[in-house]
Chains A and B, each alone.
Chain A
């Protein structure tokens, strides 16, 4: 089985090279059909259609599950493109040579039909494909620079704080030394004078440290300090029991969200299918991985099968599920429902999970403590628009000048999460 797959892999990479070659030529010298609209509105509308229907398998300038799309109106007529998008199988069945070549090239992968797209949608889509989101290297560099600048101005970095602290301590020590010097100079000076017995005694008195150590005040202060310190440590420790913020265990497959969600911009919902319908977002089953990895067998255009991707194949071949390590562990006594937050509340995944699209290894971004939940419920406004469920609440709340927040409709109540 494996050997067969690697053969396929080699053939695949030849094809990849061929296509890349073709693409390079295409990109360097294509001419877009002038009938394709280039207005901003059309491009924006097309982007929506693209993101909703095409993004899972296609990229504009890169080959993915399907071919790179830019330049299609140069390679084929607009009519051909539209017909192919609407029902590719019909075009293939009609015996169209280009369509059949494509079909064969992509291992007979069936592209779903899109009969629900109107002609307007298709025109907008083509506008986006040809003119949308062109990558300008110079612009990209500028944006990158901006981003790092913004990060720097966000607050004083912690290392500056320690430097300032160090300098302060140094200054204090210097002052201490100077004061000591002053005292010794003054003592010497005074000793040379003619002094009364009392004054002499006062000047020559030695500070008795052991007396200080034995004094009640000192003992009480030190004890209080120690107790306070221990208590603080204990309380901090107790508050962190079960808090796994930053927990980023190694996974059985070195799956990179940075690659899939970040670089390839695969929508979260594509894999986490439960996120809008149920309590659990679902760790994708292996068959979802196979949607793409039937074709994509290695990373970065390398030949052969990546050892990590091979683990998916092994799971499927042996019918052995992949045992991922659970990163986000809520206690059993807390009920959390993804659908409520994502589908109803319209919360972005990143709000709780952090910049997941940048994570090579997923770690727990938020503390997932009850205080953290409650804080968000206090601040978050409810997405009431167009949702008839909230009509009465919105109406009752309309007299208030504050926005309707989760806390206003019982979002801080115990039995919303604990039952």
Chain B
């Protein structure tokens, strides 16, 4: 056993042992609200008020219960039964973001979205945005009907006006984000044909135009290839956040995780290098991460090209020398894994992407890990064409403009110019579902259905198709945009028939498989997806990369003294389309753990130089000017930020998204640069940052619920050590008893439980967990977890049942201050999902004075809200800090109506899970291991008079996890996945002996005997180093 001597910290304040942090960490609960006397005692008047309230409450309680109605259907649909969920396969698509999903409906209301297992792309998995999108269906902000000139109208008027106006408008442009739907494109074509041609101009808020532009130059095809991360043994990424936000993150995360799972049978994993400016989710998961300046990124790619080219005997290109750590090492590893390696870049500069293509060519990855023969269509936006369009719009050359579900006024670099130009078009129409920044400027708004109310088809990848079907009747007087296009084109077919007819003529002949069309259609609709298998094949380049390389060498500089701004998007908020969703706003960013804000991430070095110290939430504001545009943003000191660079997230600063998002953060789209013919996210010149001195608070959760300096919460090893000793990095505490050292589990005060039927357990692989946070949103949706808003997060009262603890680490000893300072420049990162550990010897159970938290015969730690009197002793005694107290009534409370919409609006409440109680003020709550699902699964088995099969019951977090890091199951069942994974020896005892060497309990030494196991984090590094 090799002991782990690293120092772990959650935030810089913990690293520096700031007194403020220590004070808060020592205190179990944050300070009480301030409506107290100055000396902190309650006044006599308060006492009388409380007395009066109790009396009133008591007399009210004695009143007769209200008459409640039971209203059945008039004509009950055959397949809708109250209390029994129905599942429909459908598709989530927003712009080019895509996921095949299964929608759970109860009593006709969609309440939960899971991934569709049959999809070869997202393979049954989702991310936070897809998971949360169900709430956007019940957004009060949605338009209830069409609007003409800002006033409510009706469809007849709209149709008449659109038809007559467009007929004389002249040139018609349809602006859209990536359209993945072939039938929609066809319908739009039909519409165009009726008006003498209408051009579709696509742009993407988060543009990847550089990749397709590069492919056009290099391969002669303007496409984005399929990337096969699962086949890559060495992965090198230059700023591409492929686990978080880049192109198809759910697909990539699942594929990546496959290469990261290690076991005794397969002690191999991929090696991942990341070169980037901001610490991204992907960088946090890399084995070797090097912070580089954005201005160097092109040269770094060139340097890698030269290194590989010299190994391959190809011509190198001349470029300025840059010193970049780990680059040569990366080149060696790439060369060693030729044909099974992958180089990607997040840059939107086509020239950089051409060099990346050339590197993959040299490595023989084309046709292996990079597949241009099966292109993906997630990003079809053309930045150059969009620039041209803006010029035309401003010049008054556009007669009619239709914004098809897009919001360029907000989410395009030149939004302000578009806003100006809209007025110059004779006709302006939007199909947006809300009065957003763009829709509020147009003449006619013909709101589209929500995607959960629509029919549609999608082609995310060549040969892959999926269908979307309505899961609820339209809530409002909206109309599917495709129907609008068809109506305006004078067609009388509705889009559903149109869609079917299109499939009949295009897909059925090739993919029908010899059955009738109806059967083909029904099967496709039932499955949700249909795909033809394809094997990757190489396509030949039509040019070499020398021209592009020369351009790169010219554009990028080895030593830029000025400040640089790298604009990125967050895993939760993305491009800002779903910003009005409080679940996403309150989801802590995986890296910064900040909620409800965007901010300027700065390096530790810059912060010290500019006198900014950030202790917990308290920070200063800075003024950032980029080529004349100025924003005031709060500062967040970010370990791992490349010195001289600053990061700022997109998706914030909405002005017309709705009451949740309006005024949250600043809009960074304004700072993007599209002057070079592509939208550039790396601003390397003209950036000035100055601290304004104004104080600000950023609501971060990272130092809340801390373990208080207990060691060995994180246990990790490097791959080389793991290969020699499977228990490398494991901390095995022993306790002295009767003359010998024994395992903590051998000493117990408790007589123990007996689990005769089931024993539920969870195994969490910290090597697979990438920290994306999909599980946290899934839990929030499934368990009706309240959103508390920024102020309450600042008060340390967030309600999340599952959190992802993000630890920074380095191997400098805790007292080596200068060593730690260096380490905080680029620390290692470990993610640890933390939820109720369902302890067998639960400390919370023994201290509850009213037995509101008790143990079940299936190993669950049960929380009974109606018995809880709110002493909070349990939370105080919980070593994992996973219990949450309802400080307020979060439902039906106007103080929280603006943030906790799912429990306040009549509309929002439709998303609540009817099987889970909405908790009241004054009670404790925590992870129940989705006991409602366990009960439902057991009931089904009992009704069918059979045993419960493994996999029938699964917890919401594990279902959502794109990397299968969480595995849930019955540990009493020797054939369950969790039993096999943990190698559980069969026993009647409640305390399971686990054979897997990597598995450990957090805080094993206190022997609370959790039912949640963690697997050591294994890094593919040569030696243990930070």
Interface residues of A (CB under 8 A from B): 237, 241-242, 244, 249, 273-274, 276-280, 282-288, 315-316, 319-326, 329, 331-335, 337, 339-340, 343-344, 386-393, 396, 409-410, 413-416, 418-419
Contacts and interface: CB of A to CB of B under 8 A. Distances in A.
A333 B75 contact: no
Interface in B69-122: 69-76, 81-84
Nearest to A331: B866
A375 to B, nearest CB: 18
Contacts of A242: 65
Interface centre among A244, A273, A278, A334 (most CB of B within 10 A): A278
A393 B82 contact: no
Contacts of A392: 756-757
B83 A418 contact: no
Nearest to A397: B756
A287 B915 contact: no
Interface string B918-936: 1000000000100110010
A42 B756 CA distance: 45
25 contacts: A249-B67, A277-B81, A278-B81, A279-B82, A279-B83, A283-B70, A285-B75, A287-B74, A316-B75, A321-B73, A323-B69, A324-B69, A324-B72, A326-B70, A331-B866, A332-B918, A340-B939, A344-B943, A387-B942, A389-B938, A389-B942, A410-B857, A415-B863, A416-B935, A418-B862
A287 B854 contact: no
B629 interface: no
B71 A322 contact: yes
Nearest to A390: B942
Interface in B32-79: 61-62, 65, 67-76
B82 A414 contact: no
Contact of B942 (A285, A329, A340, A410): A340
Contacts of B69: 323-326
B942 A344 contact: yes
A222 B5 CA distance: 75
B75 A286 contact: yes
A237 B858 CA distance: 37
Task: Tell me if B's interface is mostly helix, strand, loop or mixed.
Answer: loop
Contacts of A419: 862, 915-917, 928, 931-932, 935
B156 interface: no
A414 B864 contact: yes
B320 interface: no
A1 to B, nearest CB: 16
Given A237-B62, A419-B932, A339 B76 contact: no
Given A316-B75, A343-B943, A414-B854, 16 more contacts: A274-B83, A280-B83, A282-B82, A283-B72, A286-B73, A321-B73, A322-B71, A329-B65, A332-B918, A333-B865, A340-B939, A344-B943, A387-B945, A389-B948, A416-B935, A419-B932
Nearest to B851: A414
Nearest to B82: A280
Contact of A418 (B62, B917, B918, B943): B917
Contacts of B757: 392-393, 409
CB-based closest 6 A-B pairs: A279-B83, A415-B862, A285-B76, A285-B73, A410-B857, A414-B864
Contacts of B862: 413-415, 418-419
A389 B943 CA distance: 9
A25 to B, nearest CB: 41
B74 A273 contact: no
A335 B854 contact: no
A287 B72 CA distance: 10
B928 A282 contact: no
A396 B758 CA distance: 13
A207 B388 CA distance: 116
B501 interface: no
B946 interface: yes
Given A325-B69, A329-B68, A415-B931, A288 B84 contact: no
B860 interface: yes
A312 to B, nearest CB: 10
A242 B61 CA distance: 8
Contacts of A283: 70-72
Contacts of B939: 337, 339-340, 344
A195 to B, nearest CB: 62
Contacts of A391: 947
B941 interface: yes
A323 to B, nearest CB: 5
Interface in B323-364: none
A279 B83 CA distance: 6
Contacts of A335: 915, 932, 935
A286 B947 CA distance: 38
Contact of B72 (A241, A286, A316): A286
Contact of B946 (A323, A325, A388, A396): A388
A319 B74 contact: yes
Given A284-B72, A333-B866, A340-B939, A389 B945 contact: yes
Contact of B860 (A237, A337, A415): A415
B867 interface: yes
B1025 to A, nearest CB: 46
Interface centre among A323, A344, A396 (most CB of B within 10 A): A344
Interface in B367-394: none
B84 A278 contact: yes
A277 B78 CA distance: 13
A418 B866 contact: yes
Contacts of A321: 71-74
Contact of B62 (A241, A286, A324, A415): A241
B82 A278 contact: yes
A346 to B, nearest CB: 11
B856 interface: yes
A388 B945 contact: yes
B71 A415 contact: no
Contacts of A344: 939, 942-943
A92 B82 CA distance: 38
B866 A241 contact: no
A415 B948 contact: no
Contacts of A241: 61-62
B62 to A, nearest CB: 6
Contacts of B917: 332-333, 418-419
Nearest to B930: A419
Contacts of B70: 283, 323-326
Nearest to B67: A325
Contact of B756 (A280, A320, A322, A393): A393
Contacts of A282: 72, 81-82
A274 B82 contact: yes
A364 to B, nearest CB: 11
B566 to A, nearest CB: 45
A413 B932 contact: no
A344 to B, nearest CB: 4
Contacts of A332: 917-918
Contact of A415 (B61, B928, B942): B928
A284 B81 CA distance: 11
